[in-house]
Amino acid sequence: MMNVMRNSKHKVRTAAKEASHERIVSAAARAIRRSGYDGTGVADIMKEAGLTHGAFYAHFPSREAMLAEAASRACAEAAAAATDVVASVPADQTLAFMLRAYLSPEHLEQIERGCPLAALGSETPRQTPEVRRVTTRHIKETIDLVARQLPDWGQPGAHERALVTVATMVGALVLARAVDEPALSASLCEAALKHLAPT
């Protein structure tokens, strides 16, 4: 009987710790996109997650470890959103839908839930090898996803077109967020969309 009670308490504590860890990573994934790596502090993340600052080290050995996991989560969320778009439309329309969703006014405004490449690309070269590895893997997966939507997928030029497409869409979003003129912001996205996915 005692073993059952001990195991039950252990399972409850483990589940509570996992739920707390999930809240921390989720808050950090939003925060890095909103405030950048350098603007994301442990105290703020723990407060947003509803936990004490002191509880942090029960979950991560360092701030850098948290940032790496947050980067991984942000990339996974972006990949899942792109995959959802691909799964929801006919095969011959997937690239156009992906591009329209990526360069949409909604995505432009959703920095903390949007593409981590556009939000964090300029900071990433100064981050730990773990963060850079996560980012590199996400870039490669995004390029591959775009390449698979091209009509000439598998041909030599498809990979290069996918490289240009990803670079253009991310660059357009970065610039559209950077400017303080809504008309210019919209024009940047529209021009990239017109060039990448002519109708």
**HSE, side-chain direction, 13 A CA sphere, residue 182:** 2
Q: What residues does each domain of the chain span?
A: 2-196
Q: Which among 107, 18, 120, 19 has a CA at the least distance from the CA of 74?
A: 120
Helix (H) or strand (E) holding 66: helix 63-88
Long-range contacts of 14-21 (CB under 8 A, 24+ apart): 17/58, 17/59, 20/49, 20/51, 20/55, 20/59, 21/59
Both tokens of residue 135? 């980012």
Q: pLDDT (tens digit, 0 to 9) for every residue of the chain, 199 residues total?
A: 556 556 666 566 777 788 899 999 999 999 999 999 999 999 999 999 999 888 899 999 999 999 999 999 999 999 999 988 888 888 889 999 999 999 999 999 999 999 999 999 999 999 999 999 999 999 999 999 999 999 899 888 999 999 999 999 999 999 999 999 999 999 999 999 999 975 5
Could you tell me the pTM of the whole model? 0.86
Angle ∠(51,57,62) on CA atoms, nearest 5? 120
What CATH number does the domain located at 2-196 have?
A: 1.10.357.10
